Amino acid sequence: MAAPSVSVCVEAAIENPIQEVRYDGQEIHVTPLSMSENLSKLAHKINFFKDESEEKGKPTSEGERETDEEKVLAPFQPSLWPWDSVRNKLKSALTEISVLYDVLNIVKEKHYMVTDPVSQEAPELKAPLQMIAKKKSLVIVCKILNTGADRLKDIQAEMGSNTPDNFLWELLQLRKHWRLKKVQNTILGELSYKSAGSRFWQGGTFEVLKMSDLAAEGEATNKKSSLDVSIPSELEGVAYIQVEVKSVPDLMDLTSATLKMPASLGAVPPDAYWQQKLETAHNVLFCKELFAQLAREAVQVKGTTPHMVVGNQILTNVFPGIQLSIVLCHYTGKEKKVNLSPPKLDHNHVLEHSLHQLLRKEHSNNLNTSPPHPANAMLGMSKRRRLAGPQAHSRQDLIQMAHSESMLVQILKQTKHAVLRLRSMHVIDQLASSLQDPLICAHWSCLNNSLESSVRVSITSYCYETNRTPLILIIGIDTIRVVVREGRTCVLSFEENELRDFLQWQICQHHVQSVQSLAKLHGWQVLSATVSSGHGDIEPYGTTATVMLASPKGNIRNDITYDPVDKALMFHLQTAWRRAKIPSTHTHNMSENKQTVSAHSKCKQQIAAIQENANKRPVHELWDSSSHGLSGANAPKRPKH
């Protein structure tokens, strides 16, 4: 292929690296090594290693080598100058390695030599020096412990001592809890509730005394503090308010109130801590105020119920036969010990607590007037009263707003509710435990207050819980409101019997209702169901419920009446003068006041039996137009089946 010839220039790459490029562009190459130099450079790169098999012949081989090398070196002495370093290095490496090898052999083989640890010389034990050192360290430790112990001792001493510093410290503690003021030389404190809103005439001022230091340590009395308080005489002792609700058989018992002797309550020992003394006196004042207010209200009452205030006792009738007594028991320790068997204390703690709360509420109402607090208008009006003007409330509304209840009335209401609630509980529980046939279940609501509670009573039959009669009783202050299943409400009074009668009536209704549902299950047709039927005698309470059933074949009619008073479940079978054939046990039923074990199941059995009987007889014999039975209605003509 002879193309027009292109000159191709083949050049070797630059073999010598450029050492320097001068400023004028001249390149200076590194001078290439001569042959001998190159060789020595390569020889330097060789890695000589020792061969293990030549151990014995080592020295000789080394010598040989040496001689060899020397031989080699001798004639080429000047030109082998670069090898000298190599040779030296090799020699030293060999020496090192042979030594290492020897050592290893000795350690491993233990043929001719063994390695033995070199025992070191024990350091010199200088006993005195050691003792001194230990002593010094112990002294330091002792010093630290001593300072700590000293500090604790000081604190302990401070706590127990009756120094003037202690008095000040106690005074500081006293000031944290009570209001103190300095009058000339004495320090007086305030025990009354005036700063909390009380308007009681009696104030309590106590005096703070400094106990002089009892130097003699042999003194038996061990004063715990250097501060003592002296309580005014009328607040000495221990007091409490006892509220009791008891049933009295006689209404006239109000006049037979006896002065109650407080039970043996420990008096405050004279060397009690000042805080305890002050707190007890504070409580005495509170109880006194509470009782004074209640007594004042009891005397000023203009209502119908009279209250009796005798000495330290207030008696009032809650319900006929139930009495509420509020006693102020103040035991000062100065009464002569009368060996009366202490009457069984029946505190009603809930009401006592309520009384305390009521008084505290009054106190706080005295202080905390509701906002706004105008400069020109009256303080203490509720928001509603303040808005009465702009909203143009009538006189009636204003009168109602101004009406407020006294403490006695409030506690009386609470007592009434408590009594009523207990009574209702008792009635329901009694009924529930005495009756097995319909099961009565009461669920008391947890949301209640001191004036209202509610309970949900459900009457069910055993195994037929879907058929349930629910009742809701809302227990108020002196009435009970009942909400029946259909939503009707009745209001019952506080009489126990009324509630019992009402529940009995509901039970009757429930029975008839369950018979009705049971009959439906069996295929009986319900002709009519009346809650309050008119036939029969008038009962003193409740109404008779009736249900009229017809058998599936239409040949038997069954009227079931449940009379709540006599609890008689009578049913009249209208089977046209075959009644005698039907066993008497079926018709004569529960005319006594005893409840049967399970009227319901008996009913069921009887219905079944009647059906059986009916199935056995020819129809035309059973049916007759002249009807028997008390229903009085003419039997409707049915076609023969």
Interacting residues toward other proteins by CB under 8 A: 376-377, 385-386, 388-395, 398
Q: Which residues pair with 529 in a beta bridge?
A: 547
- Cα–Cα distance for residue pair 327/242, rounded to 1 Å: 5
* Minimal distance, residue 386 CB to other proteins, in Å: 7
Q: Are 509 and 531 in contact (CB under 8 A)?
A: yes
| Closest to other proteins by CB, 8 or 392 | 392
Q: Per DSSP, which regions of 484-587 are E strands?
A: 489-492, 525-533, 544-550, 557-563, 568-574
Residue 167: count of CB within 10 angstroms of its CB: 17
- 3-class DSSP state for residue 435? coil
Q: What is the helix (H) or strand (E) element at residue 200, kind and residue range? A: none
CB of 397 to other proteins, least distance (A): 9
| Nearer CB in complex with other proteins: 387/422 | 387
- Quick one: which of 417, 399, 401 has its CA closest to 409? 417
Q: Which is nearer to other proteins, 57 or 372 (CB)?
A: 372
Q: How far is the CB of 398 from other proteins (least distance, A)?
A: 6
Closest CB 382 distance from other proteins, rounded Å = 13
Q: How far is CA 250 from the centre of its chain?
A: 45
Minimum CB distance to other proteins, residue 371 (Å): 15
What is the enclosing helix (H) or strand (E) of 570?
Answer: strand 568-574
Report in angstroms how near the CB of residue 388 gets to other proteins at its nearest.
4
**Other beta carbons within 10 Å of 44:** 12
Mention every residue, 6+ apart, whose C-beta is less than 8 A from residue 596: 437, 590, 602
C-beta of residue 490 within 8 angstroms of C-beta of residue 502: yes
Whether 327 contacts 344, CB under 8 Å: no
Chain-centre distance for alpha carbon 240: 30
Look up residue 205 and give its two tokens.
């001022």
106 versus 401: smaller Cβ distance to other proteins:
401
Phi, psi of 37 (to 5 degrees): -65, -40
- Cβ nearer to other proteins, comparing 401 with 435: 401
Q: How far out from the chain centre does Cα 493 lie? A: 37
CB of 403 to other proteins, least distance (A): 15
CB of 376 to other proteins, least distance (A): 7
Is the Cβ of residue 86 or residue 388 nearer to other proteins in the bound state?
Answer: 388
Are 128 and 136 contacting, i.e. CB atoms less than 8 angstroms apart? no
Closest to other proteins by CB, 389 vs 583, is 389
For residue 506, give the 3-state DSSP assignment.
helix
Q: Judged by CB, which is closer to other proteins: 389, or 523? A: 389
Name the DSSP letter for residue 235: G
CB of 379 to other proteins, least distance (A): 13
For other proteins, the closer CB: 398 or 521: 398
